[in-house]
Amino acid sequence: MQIFLARTQGFCAGVARAIEIVERALAAYGKPIYVFHEIVHNTSVVNDFKSRGVVFINEIADAPENSRIIFSAHGISPAILAYAKKKNLHTIDATCPLVTKVHLEAEKFSLEDIDVILIGHKGHEEVVGTSGHVKPELLHIVSNAADIDKLDIAPHKKVAFITQTTLSVDDTRELILKLRARFPRLTGPLRDDICYATQNRQDAIKELSKLCDMIIIAGSPNSSNSNRLREKGEQLGVKSIIVDNASQLDVNILNGKTRIGLSSGASVPRHLVDEIIAKIQNTFSDTTVTTFDNPEETIAFPLPRI
C-alpha cells in the first residue's frame, strides 16, 4: 500500500490566523470567550476550544452584555457588527483578510447601485456575511446554472459578480462564462474571488488523481472547501471519500487498493491526517508514505491587536 500526501493541504493562512486569535484571546482574557459561529468549520478544532471555555453561538443575542466576542474566519455582515456594538460587546474580528477583500468589492458595487450576483452556497456563513454588504434590492445569490437562468435582471443593465472564496474553481469558471454570455456589461474581479488556498488544494487533488486509485479527504461535513476536494476527485474519476477523523474511516474499503491519495481541507489540523495514516498502517503493515514539497509554507496573514 502506498499513501501519497497532497502537496498542499491542511491549515491555510486564514484558518491559522483565526485559531491563533482565539488562542491569544483565551490567554489574555480567560474564559468564557464567545465566538460567533464556528471559528472554522472543523469538529476537532471547535471541540478543543469548547473544552477550554470557548462558547460558540449562532445568535449575537446569546452573548451577555459586555462580554468578549470573536467573529469567525467566514466574516459577518455590518448589521451583526452594529448589533454587537449596541450590546456593548468587546469585538475581535477573525474574518480572513481574503473574505474582507470580497466584502469591500461588494460594498463598492453596491454603492455604485450595480446589481451584484453573488456566486456561492446559500446559507453558508460566508455567503450570509457577504450578502449583508450589498443593498438587499441589488443582491442576487446563485449557486448553479439553473439559478442564473432564473435571474430577473434586464440584459443591458450593468451587473457585477463576486464569489464565495471556497468554491470549485472549474465549476465557478463555467458559471462566470454563463453570466458573461447573458450580461454583456458584466463586471467583477479579474477572475473570481476563490482564494489561493482553495485553488492550491484543488490543484493538488488533480495531481493525486493521476497517481491514485482512491482519495481520502479529512474534513468536517460542513466544510465547503473539504467537500469541494472530494467532489473534484470524483469528477476526475477516482473514488473519493470524506471523513471527519480516523474513527470514521472504514479500512475495509481500502481492500484491493494500492495507491491512496490523502488530503485535508483548509480547516483540518495535521494530527487528524497523521491519525488516518496510522490507522491505515495498522491494517496494512507494508504501507509507505510519500510527501511532496508544500509551496504555501511561507504564507501568513498579520494578526489584529488583541
The residues binding ligand SF4 (CB under 6 A) are 12-15, 73, 96, 98-99, 165-166, 195, 197-198, 225, 266
- Give the long-range contacts of residues 57-63, CB within 8 A, separation 24 or more: 60/36, 60/84, 60/87, 60/89, 61/87, 62/34, 63/34, 63/36, 63/87, 63/89
- Report the nearest approach of ligand SF4 to the CB of residue 273 (Å): 17
In the DSSP assignment, the letter for residue 134 is S
Kindly tell me which of 10 and 188 has the beta carbon lying closer to ligand SF4: 10
Kindly tell me which of 125 and 244 has the beta carbon lying closer to ligand SF4: 125
Sequence letter at residue 112 = E
- Report the nearest approach of ligand SF4 to the CB of residue 158 (Å): 27
- Report the nearest approach of ligand SF4 to the CB of residue 1 (Å): 30
Kindly tell me which of 92 and 260 has the beta carbon lying closer to ligand SF4: 92
Q: How far apart are CA 159 and CA 138, in angstroms?
A: 9
Kindly tell me which of 12 and 254 has the beta carbon lying closer to ligand SF4: 12
Task: Spell out a b/e string for 238-271, using b for 16 or more CB atoms within 10 Å of the CB, else e.
Answer: bebebbbbbeebeeeebeeeebbbbbbbbbbbee
- In three-state secondary structure terms, 213 is coil
Q: 177: Cβ–Cβ under 8 A, 6 or more apart, which residues? A: none
- Report the nearest approach of ligand SF4 to the CB of residue 198 (Å): 6
- Report the nearest approach of ligand SF4 to the CB of residue 195 (Å): 3
Identify the sign of the CA torsion 241, 272, 125, 15. Answer: negative
- Look up 65 and say whether it is catalytic: no
Q: Which of 65, 126, 296, 297 is catalytic?
A: 126
Phi-psi region at 30: left, alpha or beta (left = phi > 0; alpha = psi -120 to 50): left
Kindly tell me which of 64 and 295 has the beta carbon lying closer to ligand SF4: 295
- In three-state secondary structure terms, 89 is coil
Kindly tell me which of 13 and 148 has the beta carbon lying closer to ligand SF4: 13
- Report the nearest approach of ligand SF4 to the CB of residue 130 (Å): 11
End-to-end CA distance of the chain: 47
Strands 139-142 and 115-119: parallel
Cα–chain-centroid distance for residue 91?
Answer: 22
Q: Cell triple for residue 144?
A: 448553479
Phi-psi region at 188: left, alpha or beta (left = phi > 0; alpha = psi -120 to 50): left
Which amino acids are annotated catalytic? 126
